[in-house]
Amino acid sequence: MSHADLAEGAAAVLCDEGRFEGPTPPLTGPEALDFEGLARLASKVAGKELRRVTVSDDAFAARLAKYGLPPHVVKISLGMFVAARRGEFAPVDPTLQQLIGRRPATVGDLLAR
């Protein structure tokens, strides 16, 4: 999904007062991709093979620290990768599509642009 899709969805919520009470609904794209799938899509668009390389959590954190990221940012970044490994970002929800009245852009759509 694109920023434009999210903005359009947010505008729909804001313009329809009372449509959502309580927690913000999940606004997701139409598909869930893992890093392998993303590498396949990027390879197709780039016209050359791009591989996913997996490193340990410690190696990832050390690399971020080496590039000067503060410890709290390293921790947050690592936490996102741990959450992704656990599948916490995998669910796909139809709410955004319902709000904007069309299928949100896929990662493949965005890379092709």
Q: What is the pLDDT of residues 70-94, one digit of tens each?
A: 999 999 999 998 998 898 888 899 9
- Find, among 36, 62, 67, 64, the residue nearest to 50 by Cα: 36
* Same domain, residue pair 86 and 60: yes
* Same domain, residue pair 108 and 68: no
- Asked if residues 8 and 100 have their Cβ atoms less than 8 Å apart, the reply is yes
* Same domain, residue pair 56 and 45: yes
Check pLDDT > 80 for residue 22.
no
Confidence of residue 68 (pLDDT cuts 50, 70, 90): very high
Query: What is the arithmetic mean of pLDDT over 18-22?
Result: 76
Domain range spanning residue 16?
A: 1-32+91-113
* Same domain, residue pair 102 and 83: no
* Same domain, residue pair 40 and 79: yes
The percent helix, strand, coil of the chain (3-state, each to 5) is 55, 0, 45
* Percent of all residues in the chain with a pLDDT value above 90, rounded to a whole number: 54
The confidence score (pLDDT) of residue 57 equals 96
Instruction: Tell the residue number behind the tokens 């591989």, with chain if given.
Output: 51
